[in-house]
Structure 1
Amino acid sequence: MRQFSKTSRRSFLKKSGIATVGFMGLYQFVQSGSFAGGVMDNIGYGALQPDPEGILNLPKGFSYKIISKAGQPMSDGLLVPGSPDGMGTFSGENGRVLIVRNHEISPDDLEKGAFGKENELYSKVSTDLLYETGKGQLPGLGGTTTMVYDPKTGEVEDEFLSLAGTVRNCAGGVTPWNSWLTCEESTVTSGSYDGKLDLNHGYVFEVPALADRQLHKAIPIKEMGRFNHEAVAVDPKTSIVYLTEDRGDGLFYRFIPNEPGKLYRGGKLQALVVSGEKSRDTRNWSDLEVPKFPKNQSMAVSWIDLDDIDAPEDDLRHRGAEQGAACFARGEGIWFGDGELYFACTNGGEISAGQVFRYTPGANEGQANEAEAPGTLELFAEPNDKEILKSCDNVAIAPWGDLLLCEDDKHPFVVGITPAGEYYKLAENVGFRTEFAGGVFSPDGSTYFVNIQGAGLTLAITGPWNNNA
């Protein structure tokens, strides 16, 4: 399999002119009906082939393997948790791949937890390492598991609980310093669940990417704000963290750390404002009596400081909007490429089928003089055709530049978008009426890992990726 070096990657940013023209042309083709089945016939890897097992349809030459299943025993004596969601991959020793995986589990969903249906395995963990113990009755069942995967054999050699005591860990993001940021998509408070919860939730936690088979202490990074977190992306040049919010009226945030790579040492949380506008609604819903956010147009932005970020009333987004912050329709997956990032909004657009935005940091991003060269926001994709894209959720950029989107739908696809702005279907879930989640490539680009969430499955997909590079 071809290896893709950093210098050989075709980034969306480097082809921004082509990409913009491509998407403008694509929109015209959509309007004129020049698509077959919603995608260009000669783009991507070809037609999806029926799976004899009735689980996952893939293009010719591709194959998949189920590498993890909820409920199975792990190396640490616990059970693989259910509802797998966001994932990050890291290079391990001797060619191994470390996969850190979220689990979007609520405290009372015991059947999906790592401790068994009656928490009978709870005594196997040190409660000092958990964030929420739930008075020993209802511990936070969200968190992360870590897998050690051997791409040569296609086998998981080790699998263990790496963070626990949190709630509904949905997505997150990898860091340049070899860790995974996992986010709680919940704002439940102390006293919830009939008084069993002791603590407030809605935070980001950091998990080291290590093959150490141990549970790491869950410590919230409170200065990154308390809200319905979805995903994060870190700019490797500045260590600035960008964050999405899974709300119908959510904001787009950034966290400027006091010390690069040391998030627990504090920093400043801000929200994005479209420059020159008192407020800007990016959702483009047909029933909104506000101007539509333009497609394929770079808009200069500024950022406002937020206060009272622990938000006991869960009103951080409301207060930000009052200060002029832009509003987004359920911010979801986010991924940093070469000098730019992309994030999905699940139900944005005129028919609420989804949008993809591109944010390009300014030359002086996060500095006092950043207004001299501000960052820009672009509505990169809004096809308004569910045959092309619907309910886009997790996002990943392939090593060769394609953007891959997991659909959050009962009949979901993994949808690819090339740097030239052309759509194709990479995978189709035909076995389970539940969403794709957590799609991410191995560091060398040879394997695409993805979850079928409701079925509790993690799959490894391999094939001739270089044919599209």
Structure 2
Amino acid sequence: MDISRRMFLAGGAAATGGTLFASAILSGIDSAAAASTPPRTGADPDGYTGGYGPLRPVAAADEPGAEYFALPAGFSYVVFGKTGTPMVSDPSQRNPSSHDGMAAFHGPGPTIRLTRNQEDRNAPGEGTVGGPSATRYDPLAGGGVTVLDYDPRTRRVVRDFIGVNGTHVNCAGGIAWRHAGWLTCEETVAGPADGYGRKHGYVFLVPIGARATARAEPLTAMGRFSHEAVATDRRTGVVYLTEDAGSGRGSGFYRFLPRDPARLSRGGRLQILSLKGRPRTDLRERQKPGRWLPVVWRDIDDPDPDPVIEAELPGATSVFAQGWAAGGAKFNRLEGVWAAERSFFIASTSGGDAKNGDVNADGYAEGYGQIWEYAPGEHDGDGGQLRLAFESPGGSVLDSPDNLTVSPQGNLLICEDDAGSVDGDTHPLAPGLVDVNRLIGLTRSGRTFEFLVNRFSTSELAGACFSPDGQTLFVNVYGTADAGSGFTAAITGPWRRGVL
């Protein structure tokens, strides 16, 4: 199998001031590659390593003997912000659980400011995200965002606090226009009927200059649905949003046209992606890679439905049901989205023709994952184009893509969240673990390679992002509610030696 023929980014890339750019021209994928799945000893069956060489167990620089990851030679890392440990600035507060989406900004002085989602799913009245009661959106919800100021000189967190609290299931998010803050997203539509004090399913802004917990205010015009991630067009301020309604349910790709990109609270218009001349298209499988598809956008009449009915039935009121009725396209579990220079890359966790063995309640057999690319139109009335950029031919190549980012050299780095219950894959670098998760690189020439293997646990990897200067990669081990099960890592090394 020649994975170099399977897709991807043929244009150049550059990084300036923390903004990552990439131009993509995609070629076709060899559909015959899906016929077999090679042993999971590397992403590319030809042994391609992205220029970094083979992986081997590496101990954390601040915890000798603790070999959390396998990495290429020359790379090192530190860990911090472990679930349940005291926070630096206020030891009476504990680091919350469920580390998920994240972004890196210029921080005060020499620091890098991290905004880290806490995807706390605890029952009403419980939860692990502390902070002042006066700033909570919902006093019965225990999720939110942690802000950590990391000093790359000492490789330590020097300041941390709760950025937003009283939210629920803060999964991923994205960077607001002109890096004004972090848009954190709730992956739930829970509400008072479920025992919570207020409706959930919204996007919230964490201002990047905040020095204390911000009052959480929902951006209701951006929709009430199971949000996953967002990405902002740096030219126009248009916000693109992914939805993960769960396996066996339709999920859409949306855009928000703000009245004022600098003040999203002023409202705007929410729309769902639809294929021109092909209303209600199911894109979960049987798609031709590399072919551009013209797009039109359909308005969502009621972006804040109440009550929310998830079933795709006549008269259903959910955002996706409205969009599907209007002709929107259907994906399976859209997760990460990241802005490149003139396009956006989107992960569908379990789309694709190579099946992982799990079958959803609606009869859809899950795939190993897809990466889509959307290119906006150049003028009003031009809806842009969409194409399938990459489709995994098997779990050894890419298994369940989730969060993703564009590297300083313009290639993709993808977090795996292998939630499959059938294939039970293992990895020689993670002995004793089943359903192992990795960071997978995807190059401009279309080759995949392993950059990191999680040998600490079977937890998903999340929140991968590079520092503004491109010298540090941050990534989360999601973990559980158990102390020490989740953490953030900062990885440094000879980046220029390879393609990231």
TM-score, structure 2 length as denominator? 0.82
**1:105 counterpart = 2:110:** no
Unpaired runs of 5+ in structure 1? 116-124, 135-139, 285-291
Q: Identify the residue that residue 29 of structure 2 maps to in structure 1.
A: 24
Query: Paired residues, what number?
Result: 430
**Partner residue, 1:288:** none
Residue number among 53, 56, 75 corresponding to 1:49 in the alignment: 56
Deviation of 1:148 (Å): 0.5
Q: Does 1:187 align with 2:197?
A: no
Structure-2 residue corresponding to 1:132: 138
Tell me how far apart the structure 2 counterparts of residues 257 and 50 of structure 1 sit (CA, whole Å). 47
1:230 matched to which residue of 2? 228
Corresponding residue of 1:6: 16
How far is 1:93 from its partner?
3.2
Change (3 A) 1:394 1:5: closer
SS in 1 for 2:81: strand
Partner of 1:73: 86
Correspondent of 1:316 among 314, 319, 337 = 319
CA RMSD of aligned residues (A): 2.3
Where 2:29 maps in the other structure, the secondary structure is: helix
1:384 aligns with 2:393: yes
For residue 303 of structure 1, the aligned residue among 290, 297, 303 is 297
Q: What CA distance in whole angstroms lies between the structure 1 residues aligned with 2:69 and 2:478?
A: 13
SS in 1 for 2:449: strand
Bigger Cα displacement from structure 2, 73-82 vs 302-311: 73-82
Preserved CA contact (<8 Å) 1:392 1:405: yes
Mapping of residues 244-323 of structure 1, within 5 Å: 244-247=242-245, 248-284=249-285, 292-314=286-308, 315-323=318-326
Paired AA for residue 77 in structure 2: Y
Q: Which residue of 1 aligns with 2:171?
A: 170
In structure 2, stretches of 5+ residues that fail to align are 1-13, 60-65, 309-317, 356-366, 419-434, 480-484
Paired amino acid for 1:394: N
Secondary structure in 2 matching 1:318: helix
The residue matched to 1:24 in structure 2 has which SS? coil
Instruction: State the secondary structure of the residue aligned to 1:50.
Output: strand
Name the CA distance, whole Å, in 2 between partners of 1:244 and 1:335. 11
Contact 1:346 1:355 in 2 (8 A): yes
**DSSP-derived class of the 2:58 partner:** coil
SS in 2 for 1:93: coil
Query: Identity, % of aligned pairs?
Result: 37
Give, in whole Å, the separation in 2 of the partners of 1:9 and 1:465.
17
Provide the C-alpha distance between the structure 1 equivalents of 2:289 and 2:138, rounded to a whole number of angstroms.
Answer: 43
Q: CA deviation at 1:453?
A: 0.5
Distance in 1 of aligned mates of 2:321 and 2:272: 11
- Deviating more after overlay: 309-318 vs 239-248: 309-318
Give the distance between the partners of 2:407 and 2:462, measured in 1 at CA.
16
Partner of 1:434: 459
Any conservation in 2 of the 1:12–1:419 contact (CA below 8 Å)? Answer: no
Partner Cα distance (1:270, 1:9) in 2: 26
Between structures 1 and 2, the one with greater helix share: 1
| Structure 2 Cα separation of the partners of residues 297 and 5 of structure 1 | 28
The one-letter code matched in structure 2 to 1:406 is C
TM-score after normalising by structure 1 = 0.87
After TM superposition, the structure 1 = structure 2 runs for residues 293-442 of structure 1, keeping only pairs within 5 Å, are 293-314=287-308, 315-350=318-353, 351=355, 352-364=367-379, 367=380, 370-371=381-382, 374-409=383-418, 410-442=435-467
Tell me if structure 2 keeps the 8 A contact 1:83–1:112. no
Aligned equivalents of 1:185 and 1:34: distance in 2?
Answer: 34
Q: What residue number does 1:466 align with?
A: 496
CA contact (8 A) 1:132 1:199 kept: yes
Aligned to 1:119: none
Aligned partner letter, 1:60: A
Following TM superposition, by how much is the alpha carbon of 1:106 offset from its aligned partner in structure 2, in angstroms?
2.0
1:127 deviation in Å?
2.4
CA displacement 1:234-259 (0-9 Å, x = unmatched)? 00100000000002410100000011
Per the alignment, residue 486 of structure 2 pairs with: 456
For residues 346-382 of structure 1, the C-alpha deviation after alignment (integer angstroms, 9 at most, x for no partner) is 1111211111100011101xx3xx23xx311011110
